[in-house]
Every structure is written in C-alpha cells, then in structure tokens.
Structure 1
Amino acid sequence: MGNDITEINKDTFWKFIEEAKGQCGKDMDAMFSWLNGRLLGMHPEQALKFHTIIHGYQEAAYKYGLWIAASLMKEDGYSDDRFVDFRAWLIVQGKAVYMAALENPDSLAEVEQYGDCEFEILTYVGSYAYTELTGRTAYRVCTAEMREQVLAEISGEIKYHPMIEYPLEIQDVVDVYPKLGNRFVKRYGIQCFLNGSMWNTSLPGMKELVEKGADEVHKLRMKQEKSKMNKKQPGSQRRSNN
C-alpha cells in the first residue's frame, strides 16, 4: 500500500500510518525509518505535506480533555513538551483511535499503552525527509497560511467531546471521563481529591477556565438529574392512578 501512494493528503496520510503500523507494529524506531524511507522516495513536496498534515492533527488534538486523559494514563502526568509526544503517539494508533479520542477522551481507557505513550521523533519525520531531499527545513518553508489551511481541512471531519475544551479537576473528571477517572481514583484513593488543583492556576486565564469547566460540569449533572426524574415520573404517575 505504501509504495502505491504518490501524493500525501489527509486521506493517504492515514493510509501511510496504517501501513507503517502494519509493517512495524509497536517498534517506533522501525516505524520512523519506514516512514522516512517512503518519503525519501517521493517528491519533496510530499514530505512537506506530510510534515504539515501531522502537525495539523497534533494541533487539532491540543485540547485539555485529551491532556487530562493522557495524564491519567500516565502516573507522572504530562508537561507541555511531553503532551506533544503523546499526541504523536496517538496519531500512530490510527485514524479510528484518534477520532474516537477526540469525540470522547475516555475511549483511551480501552487503548493498549506501550512505548511510554510517547513518540517524539514521529513529529519530525516529514521535516527530516524534506531536509534530506532539499537541504531546507520544513519548519521554515511551511507558512502560517499552509498550516491554517490544513487545520481547517482536517477539523471538518473531527467531532469533539462537548467538555474537551475545559481543564477539569479530578472530582469532575470522574463524572465526565469515568473510565479514566475511576482508574485514577482506584490508584490513589481519596488522596487524589486532597492534592489541590491538577492545573497551574497562576497561569493567565487558567483559573477562570477551570471555574468555567466546573460550571459546565455542574450544568451537565443538573441536566442528567432532570433526565432521570423525567424518566421516573411517568411510572410514578401510573402507580398513583391505580
């Protein structure tokens, strides 16, 4: 399949990833070499497109809900740099897993963890190939307009979880992402509720965003409670009429 691809776009990109995973399995060094080798056999423009598209998918996944999921999957959490590497690892899991994670980060509870859930060098494979082919760096050639166009194209097929934009605290994570949240609680017990905020609320705007997320979770709980009451009411009414 990989040898049949002559042009990289958002569809053939995922076919490339699928073929690499099929050839290399969980060996990420081998996967990097496989992808790099295929790109070196193509026109430099295709290596540049691969670079732009993979960064577009990483940018599209830069969401607090996914950061929460990544942190709960790992005992030591994620810094900003390591979250970049996590998103590269997520991409390698394939389109279905990637899209499912953005629609509901809790789906990652069912995904096998390996390679420390990080794939740093994948981020650079397109750039490495482009540099070897042209002597120039993709990071300088790729313009803001190119990045924005790719992001717009790939974002059109992504369905986001309604709470994915918010940095939630653990007591709210348990409600919104229950599989991952309960795994975290099981690991640390009640102590995880006593350790303060998961977030650096001294950062500009972070405290307000955390509070906004808490408000949205409260609204979600109220909506769920109302739905439960409405479901119970018809049965209660029938019993009172008998």
Structure 2
Amino acid sequence: MNETSFWQLIDQDGSQEEPNEWLRDALLKKEINEIVDFEFMLQTFMQKSYLSSLWAAAYILMDGCSDDTFDYFRGWLIAQGKETFEKVLDDHEYLAAYITEETLDEEGYPQNEDLLSVAIEALIYMKTGDDQWDDKVHDDLLDALEQKGLAESDGIELDWDEEDLPERFPKLWERFGENPLGEF
C-alpha cells in the first residue's frame, strides 16, 4: 500500500456510517503486508503532524490538550483526508473555517481515537480469529514498522505559552478562544 492507496481508504472511510469499523473491515480484506503498510503510513502522518504549533491550535480549540488528546486530534485530522490534512499543516488557522458540527465527533470534539487502532485490530483478528488484545501481534507489528524504517518520535518541546496564543493564532482565538469546542 502506498500513500495514494492510504488516502483513498481514508476518503472512502469518511463516507461510511461507521467509518472506523468499515476501515477495519476493509483492512481485513488486505494482505498482512498491506495492513502493516497502512499502519506505517498512519504513523508517518502522525509523526508529520507532531508539531508544537499544531498542539497550540488544538489547545485553543478544546481549551486545553493533553498528550493523548493531541494523538486523538491528529487521528481526527488524518481522517479528514489528504487535502484537509495538508491545508491544516500548512496553515493551522484553516481550522477556524473548516470546523463545523458535522466534522466533529458525537461529543463535539475533533478527535478520532479509534482510527489509531484499526490496523492492529485487523491484524489481531486476522492472526488469532479473536478481537481480544494480543501482545505478540502488537510486538510483531512494532517490529515490522521498525524494519520499514519507522523511527520513534524524539518527543516535542512546546514553543508557546497560553498567553501568546491569541496573538499567534488570531482566527482560531477569535472563534474558539472564549467558546471552545464541546459547547456546540
């Protein structure tokens, strides 16, 4: 699976009633190496979006943003498709115009935790015939990703303070600074 195939699956996923379940089921129809490739692409885009400035934007949107929440936010961003993903990476303030009630999860947040586990769920089911977590399958996936060249992230140093956000992201602050998401 290459980048084009990855984004095609993401685009198809977004049009489904239960997108993450659909995507897991679509991956189950693939070969193991294609599932690993999907996870490699997903992790590549997670790393590409692991930016201090994007974390600041998410912080404004949700009136705070923990490590896990930032992961789920980036999962949501990837699930929006290639065009939106790239626009937001180029200009985080694009989120001020992009976000609507329809683009958010059922609780009114830009989060998609489930996208981050569809590949491992598909692999576990494919290899064990069960939905229960399997450490060996997970470890095998991590080894395969490492062999493909996926490096662990070095971490992130936030280069912003909360009081600087209104000036740094005026459009986002105007729309969400006093009225963060979750309050639709």
Instruction: Give the TM-score normalised by the residue count of structure 1.
Output: 0.60
SS at 2:65 equivalent:
coil
Q: Which runs of 4+ in 1 moved over 4 A?
A: 184-188
CA RMSD of aligned residues (A): 2.3
Q: CA deviation at 1:82?
A: 1.1
Question: Percent of aligned positions with the same letter in both sequences?
Answer: 26
**Of 4, 7, 20, the match for 2:13:** 20
Alignment partners' CA distance in 1, 2:22 and 2:53: 32
Q: CA deviation at 1:142?
A: 2.7
- In structure 2, the partner of 1:175 is 167
Gaps of 5+ in 1: 1-7, 25-29, 152-164, 189-242
**Of 115, 119, 144, the match for 1:122:** 115
Q: CA deviation at 1:71?
A: 1.2
Greater per-residue helix proportion: 1
Alignment partners' CA distance in 1, 2:110 and 2:141: 25
Give the conservation status (yes or no) of the 8 Å contact 1:36–1:125: yes
CA, structure 1 residues 146+110, in 2 after alignment: closer, same or farther (shift >3 Å)?
same
1:55 maps onto 2:43 in alignment: yes
Q: CA deviation at 1:51?
A: 1.1
**Residue identity opposite 2:20 in structure 1:** F
Give the conservation status (yes or no) of the 8 Å contact 1:67–1:83: yes
Alignment partners' CA distance in 2, 1:31 and 1:175: 36
CA, structure 1 residues 143+23, in 2 after alignment: closer, same or farther (shift >3 Å)?
closer
Corresponding residue pairs, total: 161
SS at 1:142 equivalent:
helix
Gaps of 5+ in 2: 129-136
CA deviation vs aligned residue, 1:50-84 (integer Å, no higher than 9, x gap)? 11111111111010111111111113x11001110
1:146 maps onto 2:139 in alignment: no
**Residue identity opposite 2:33 in structure 1:** E
**Residue identity opposite 1:144 in structure 2:** E
- In structure 2, the partner of 1:209 is none
Structure with bigger gyration radius = 1
Q: CA deviation at 1:177?
A: 1.9
Q: CA deviation at 1:88?
A: 0.3
Q: CA deviation at 1:173?
A: 2.9
SS at 1:23 equivalent:
coil
- In structure 1, the partner of 2:70 is 83
**Residue identity opposite 1:148 in structure 2:** L
Alignment partners' CA distance in 1, 2:35 and 2:177: 43
- In structure 2, the partner of 1:194 is none
